[in-house]
Structure 1
Amino acid sequence: MKKLSFHAFVALAVLVVIVIQLIGDISYSKIAPQVQYGVLNLKTWNFERDGPVTLNGKWEFNWNELRTPEMFATGKDQHYVSVPKLWNQVELNGVPLSGTGYASYRIQIFKNSSEVLLGLWMPGTFSSYNIWINGKLYIKEGVVANNAEEAVPSFRNRLIMIPAPKDKLDIVIQVANFAHYKGGISVAPEIGTVNQMTRKSKLETAKDSLIFGCLFIIGLYQFGMFMGRRKEKFTFFFGLLCIAIAVRMLTLGDVMLMYWTSWYRWTGVIRLDYCLITIAVMAGVSFVHYLFKEDTLQKYYYTLIGSGFVFLLISLTLSSLFFTSILIMYQIYIVFAVVFSIIVTVRAIQSQRTGATITLLGFIIFAVLIFNDILYYQGFAPIRDLAPFGLVVCVFIHSLMLSRRISKAMGDVESLYYELRELNAGLETRIEHRTSELVRMNESLESKNDELERMERSRRHLLSNISHDLRTPMTLIRGYLEALYDDVIVEPDEQKKYMKLMLNKVNSLNHLIEDLFELSKLEARQVNVEMVDVRLERFISHIEEQYELELRARGLLFACYNLTYRDAPPVSLNLRMDLDRMIQVFDNIIYNAVKFTPTGGKISIRFQYVISKSCIQISINDTGVGIDPEDLPYIFDRFYKRDKSRNSAVGGSGLGLSIAKEIVELHHGRIWAQSSYGQGSTFHIELPVYDL
């Protein structure tokens, strides 16, 4: 919720600033008339009621002439050009004009004679101008001349108070430009009452001063933060960015720098302007680079910094006419810097870096407005000079982001402080706790060591068993063969008897080898299983059919109990298994139980659904002699036999339960046993079920 409120506050602040910036253009709803072929009719226009008028439209125009009001003669060499429009965008008699040169503009305004005092707001014009009104010279900004040696450029907004008792104003503007690539009137003058124009001039100055003061203070604050924590280099570059933009505000609009320092000339201001633009771009990309260093693009960052130094060298050493002519290169450089910053910020968002989202919002606002200015200066957009405003908005958004980042860091420091205090307070308790844990771990290790020793004894025991199980049949077979070979046994009946004994031993060995081979493949998961869906009811019926008659024939009681519906809803449950291999598991368990269960005993199987585990638990119980507790942990090991004496009366290889365990685990189940010696045994199997 806090994050949402923060973003909403930033969005609202940006919206308010945009509205304030543009409100001057939409304060009055009435559409002002346009200049038509050097004439503007304002006889029905009331400045107090309808607002000021921007002098857009077709002005009378004379190229490469510096005409005074007396030199304008009606009907002689009259040409018209749109204002505002740069000379580079004008064609005269089919010939495109150059950005350098000189020209004269004229407009005649017919107004209401009751308005005797008006104000004319003249924006800066490339790159010097004189203004006559009703034959009187009012303004000389710079020196207007017809050659580069005599012309002195100057570029400032000016406000003129016009006594206008008559119903006509004749305005003549001379413009000369030999210092800038683009010349002419780029912004149309505006006329209105003295109060309206004074208010406009003061608002322009106040806006520039406010932006300068805010950014300058932010820059100094960031420099102070950097001095306190030099590890965070992004604060230095953000401060440099703010200072560069703040000082550049002094070179725009009213060019306050030229008021404050009268010795400072226009060429120095324009050089400073271009240098500050380049420094701001370099500081901006460095800020992003060090802010999101884990997500930056190193190669592109150093390319942008190197290009910035090249532009700085051009701005400082070459003529203003040259470096203003490559303005498009500066604009492309800025575009690449913005794209770099957006890409790095998007990568930071993907890495969930703090403040990356709000940083991206600032870059997007700035990118949109700078593209607008580029299109404007190329003649494709109607609104100009939004990039400085967008940059300021971007800086304020980043200031908010940094404030949030610093607040989060301070919060983390406070949290760490309280955590450390709590840790120190409970250090003795933690030491005691850790000590007790170490004691428990030591006891556990001792237990594991005892278990490993038992396993090692079991391994040696198993090796002894397998050696006996393989050697004893081979020794017997060898003795029988030697007796036959030495004619010790000559009677045919006796020979057949010994041959039968040898055949039984060979079959026993063959069965042992097959079991070993199958167990090895099961442990390596190299067996082929054919898993099919089997309904639980069908599986239980199959078990009953498989064992009931045989066990009863051996004098044992046998029963199957289906307890699933006691704990589960009356739906069919589905088991996924290789039926043949699962029957092999039951064979090994049940026939083992038959060996150790006396005649008259009972073998029973219970099937029960365990809701919490979503599985079927199968319990195979016998009333035989049971398993000694010492043997119980090892009954699923290879070659482990309950009766370990060499004279065991009960056969078997000791691999049956090992095979059963591997098959059950292959079905994602588990198997274990419970028993007490002399009280029978119970084997439990859990298999997952699937609802149909």
Structure 2
Amino acid sequence: MLLYSKIHYLLYEKNKFLVLKTTLSIFIIVLMSVVFSGCTEHQSTDKKPPKAINGKFELSDWDFQKEGAILLNGQWEFYWNKLLYPEDFNQSTVSHKNHIVAVPTSWRNYQIEDKKLPNEGYATYRLLVDLDYIPQDLAINTKAFISTCRIWVDNKEIFQTGVVSDNPNTSKDRFKPQLITIHPQNKQFYITVQISNFGCAYGGFVTGLELGNIHLLNNENNKQAYVDMFLFGSILIMGLYHITLYLLRRKDCSTLYFGIICLLIAIRTLLMGQMLLYSFLPSVPLHIFLKLSMITLYLALTFFVMFIHIVFPLDTPRWFVRFSQAIGLFFFTTAIIFTEKLGNLFIVPYEIISVFILIVLLSVLIKAFLKKRESSILVLSAVLFIILIAINDILNSYGVISTGFFIPFGVFIFIFVQSFMLSRKFAKAFFHEEQLLKSELRMLQAQIKPHFLFNTLNTIICVCRESSEKAEELLLNLSNYLRCGFSFKNDDEFADLETELLHVKSYLHIEKARFLDKLNIIFDIDTNIHCKVPAYIIQPIVENSVRHGILPCKDGGTVRLTVKKNNNMLIIIVEDDGVGMTEEKLTALLNSSDKKAGIGISNIQNRIQRIYGKSIKIKSTKGIGTIVTLELPLSDALNL
């Protein structure tokens, strides 16, 4: 993951336009796939599907097995404020004035005698279907038919959902998508549909009926359910993931807001299309799900504005954020306290206000893009994509088009972009941290403290007067110490264990010559271990034991270095019987901001944590001594 993030960062920094081109290409491919799948509506042929004309659907040359199912869209007979039964049309003496209307769409888009129809009311639809033959296993798919309705094929009732009535007190809404097998007696048959609406947002044929082979329709229904569940699960997981990120790092509210957006869209995914949530909980009243659908709609946009404000704080006006929050809170309250009938009155005003919010939002993103804010082009592209999907969904909800509802797909793409942004953000943070650790390591490697070098040379001068052989040994140790300190390559984070131990031994021999009997040294090293370890990892710990553990003691003490293998672990132990440390001193030792507490200990801690996911173990008792233990996976070390 770390390697991927680093490569991802470098590639992005050097190929911004390539990344943008690739991202937009993905958007276009997904959009085309989604729209194509929605527009074809299960049809497996390039043949243009027919439509109903003047209340008649001509299907004499349509093969349901080869060409798939077909939507019964087009011009239906329409009888407003009448609940007519099939037998009513069989009575030639009875005259019923009909109108020809477009299906599917809400009947509030109709005009009769120059008057626009209200959302509430009741009506009868009728269509004549003309087949070339009577196919086997023919079925009608009601899909997401939310309106209360009854359906007849000729004189046989095949479907009912809720209670259809001309009285709002007796009409009862219910949602029950169903696939119904029909057995027409003739090649020509009538489909009669009664619909009443006194509570839902849209009345009438908002979604059309589908006619086709029952097995093919059942397969398509199952596929759609699988897609809905996939989107729900994916978006839900990403929402929980982002909220978890916020809980781990509460300073960044963008992850919280985006996580909430994902949860809202995940819930809405189960409320759109086949309304799987209602299928899972059929005993829950329909109006609860309709309220929940409105709530997710109202809150999602508000949290999205808050998310953009966190990502681009300098470009998002504070009044705009407050305005969006007030709008979201107001409409959320209306959805909670008002009935569906009153709540539906707020949908159109909200959609108008949403257009204004989206316009301002686009201006914010364009402003951020022009100012070359980080990730602005990605967010702008994703938002434009979602806006196109939202326009598609709005037009579908009004029945203007019938391509399907795809806002979950748009959010899914936006989640992809957000993941890309988080990965890039993580890669940059990791890259900068890695460079900082390497810079600190190089500083430690090259850092020969003047007082240490001065004292060592004074010691050598004094020893020269007494023993030239001992002076020669000290010079060799100093040479080894200096050579090890400068020999690490800048890009080589690891060194042979033998090299590390030579560095430590050279240092300890020099210190032993300086402090004589005040410093005792014990080596307990398994010489059969050959591997690589992080460079400059042992000497700073040993130096801390000498400087902060032994030297403050009046009578000195002993430093013991143990290197051994335990199962598949390399164990490095540095212990002393010096002054020890309190809990406060131990905390300061691991605090990188405390420069006097320890020599390079925080650097070692950070590198061990980053490479192995482990921490240095330090056990110290005041007046007794300190034990520092490193446990490194030997298999990892051998493969480095």
TM-score > 0.5 by shorter chain: yes
- Please tell me whether residue 187 in structure 1 is matched to residue 207 in structure 2: yes
Contact 1:116 1:166 in 2 (8 A): no
CA 1:421–1:136 in structure 2 vs 1: closer, same or farther (change >3 Å)?
farther
Query: In structure 1, the residue corresponding to 2:150 is in which secondary structure?
Result: strand
Match of 1:44 in 2: 61
Match of 1:115 in 2: 135
Query: In structure 2, the residue corresponding to 1:295 is in which secondary structure?
Result: coil
1:191 and 1:273 map into 2 onto residues whose CA distance is 28
2:257 and 2:450 map into 1 onto residues whose CA distance is 45
Give the alignment of 1:250-649 within 5 angstroms: 250-374=270-394, 383=403, 385-428=405-448
2:76 and 2:91 map into 1 onto residues whose CA distance is 13
CA deviations on 1:434-491 (whole Å, 9 max, x unpaired) are xxxxxxxxxxxxxxxxxxxxxxxxxxxxxxxxxxxxxxxxxxxxxxxxxxxxxxxxxx
Contact 2:105 2:207 in 1 (8 A): yes
1:171 and 1:430 map into 2 onto residues whose CA distance is 99
Contact 1:91 1:97 in 2 (8 A): yes
Deviation for aligned residue 1:168: 2.8
2:78 and 2:85 map into 1 onto residues whose CA distance is 12
Query: In structure 2, the residue corresponding to 1:310 is in which secondary structure?
Result: helix
Deviation for aligned residue 1:238: 0.5
- Please tell me whether residue 18 in structure 1 is matched to residue 31 in structure 2: yes
Paired residue type of 2:22: F
Deviation for aligned residue 1:269: 0.8
Paired residue type of 2:436: L
Match of 1:6 in 2: 19
Paired residue type of 1:77: H
Deviation for aligned residue 1:271: 0.8
Contact 1:285 1:340 in 2 (8 A): no
1:74 and 1:417 map into 2 onto residues whose CA distance is 91
CA 1:428–1:293 in structure 2 vs 1: closer, same or farther (change >3 Å)?
farther
CA 1:245–1:2 in structure 2 vs 1: closer, same or farther (change >3 Å)?
same
Match of 2:517 in 1: none
Match of 1:82 in 2: 102
CA deviations on 1:567-599 (whole Å, 9 max, x unpaired) are xxxxxxxxxxxxxxxxxxxxxxxxxxxxxxxxx
Query: In structure 2, the residue corresponding to 1:352 is in which secondary structure?
Result: coil
1:321 and 1:286 map into 2 onto residues whose CA distance is 30
CA deviations on 1:396-454 (whole Å, 9 max, x unpaired) are 3233223322332233333333233333333447999xxxxxxxxxxxxxxxxxxxxxx
The counterpart of 1:173, out of the listed 185, 193, 212, is: 193
CA 1:120–1:381 in structure 2 vs 1: closer, same or farther (change >3 Å)?
closer
2:373 and 2:251 map into 1 onto residues whose CA distance is 18
Q: Please say which of residues 370-379 and 110-119 is displaced more in the overlay.
A: 370-379
- Please tell me whether residue 30 in structure 1 is matched to residue 47 in structure 2: yes
CA 1:376–1:428 in structure 2 vs 1: closer, same or farther (change >3 Å)?
same
The counterpart of 2:156, out of the listed 122, 136, 142, is: 136
Query: In structure 2, the residue corresponding to 1:182 is in which secondary structure?
Result: coil
Deviation for aligned residue 1:380: 6.3
Aligned residues between the structures? 433
Deviation for aligned residue 1:234: 0.3
Match of 2:87 in 1: 70
Paired residue type of 1:415: Q
Query: In structure 2, the residue corresponding to 1:33 is in which secondary structure?
Result: coil
Contact 1:354 1:405 in 2 (8 A): no
Paired residue type of 2:26: A
Paired residue type of 1:11: L
Contact 2:139 2:212 in 1 (8 A): yes
2:451 and 2:173 map into 1 onto residues whose CA distance is 80
Match of 1:241 in 2: 261
1:311 and 1:155 map into 2 onto residues whose CA distance is 24
2:429 and 2:177 map into 1 onto residues whose CA distance is 45
Contact 1:213 1:246 in 2 (8 A): yes
**Unmatched 5+ stretches in structure 1:** 433-692
Contact 2:137 2:214 in 1 (8 A): yes
Query: In structure 2, the residue corresponding to 1:283 is in which secondary structure?
Result: helix
- Please tell me whether residue 146 in structure 1 is matched to residue 166 in structure 2: yes
2:185 and 2:226 map into 1 onto residues whose CA distance is 31
2:450 and 2:210 map into 1 onto residues whose CA distance is 78
RMSD: 2.6
2:367 and 2:441 map into 1 onto residues whose CA distance is 37
CA 1:240–1:122 in structure 2 vs 1: closer, same or farther (change >3 Å)?
same
Query: In structure 2, the residue corresponding to 1:326 is in which secondary structure?
Result: helix
2:247 and 2:323 map into 1 onto residues whose CA distance is 28
Contact 2:77 2:126 in 1 (8 A): yes
2:432 and 2:252 map into 1 onto residues whose CA distance is 16
TM-score normalised over the length of structure 1: 0.58
CA 1:157–1:2 in structure 2 vs 1: closer, same or farther (change >3 Å)?
farther
TM-score normalised over the length of structure 2: 0.63
CA deviations on 1:330-359 (whole Å, 9 max, x unpaired) are 213332333343333333334433211101
Query: In structure 1, the residue corresponding to 2:365 is in which secondary structure?
Result: helix
Contact 1:64 1:102 in 2 (8 A): yes
Q: Share of identical aligned residues, percent?
A: 25
CA 1:267–1:382 in structure 2 vs 1: closer, same or farther (change >3 Å)?
closer
2:440 and 2:88 map into 1 onto residues whose CA distance is 87
The counterpart of 2:222, out of the listed 202, 207, 216, is: 202
Deviation for aligned residue 1:376: 5.7
Paired residue type of 1:200: E
Deviation for aligned residue 1:69: 1.9
Match of 1:61 in 2: 78
Match of 1:127 in 2: 147
Paired residue type of 2:16: K
2:400 and 2:129 map into 1 onto residues whose CA distance is 29
**Unmatched 5+ stretches in structure 2:** 1-13, 453-640
Paired residue type of 1:394: F
Query: In structure 1, the residue corresponding to 2:437 is in which secondary structure?
Result: helix
Paired residue type of 2:240: L
1:340 and 1:403 map into 2 onto residues whose CA distance is 28
Deviation for aligned residue 1:67: 2.0
The counterpart of 1:212, out of the listed 220, 232, 248, is: 232
Contact 2:164 2:171 in 1 (8 A): yes
Contact 1:156 1:253 in 2 (8 A): no
2:248 and 2:450 map into 1 onto residues whose CA distance is 36
2:45 and 2:296 map into 1 onto residues whose CA distance is 36
Deviation for aligned residue 1:387: 4.3
Query: In structure 2, the residue corresponding to 1:197 is in which secondary structure?
Result: helix
CA 1:36–1:295 in structure 2 vs 1: closer, same or farther (change >3 Å)?
closer
CA 1:37–1:351 in structure 2 vs 1: closer, same or farther (change >3 Å)?
closer
Paired residue type of 1:22: V
Contact 2:272 2:405 in 1 (8 A): no
> Which of the pair has the greater relative contact order for Cα pairs under 8 Å at 6+ separation?
2
CA deviations on 1:363-389 (whole Å, 9 max, x unpaired) are 111223334444565676675644454
CA 1:92–1:409 in structure 2 vs 1: closer, same or farther (change >3 Å)?
same
Contact 1:157 1:253 in 2 (8 A): no
CA 1:210–1:376 in structure 2 vs 1: closer, same or farther (change >3 Å)?
closer
Deviation for aligned residue 1:9: 3.5
Query: In structure 2, the residue corresponding to 1:293 is in which secondary structure?
Result: coil
Give the alignment of 1:642-657 within 5 angstroms: none
CA deviations on 1:70-119 (whole Å, 9 max, x unpaired) are 22237621413221121111122333321111111121212132512112
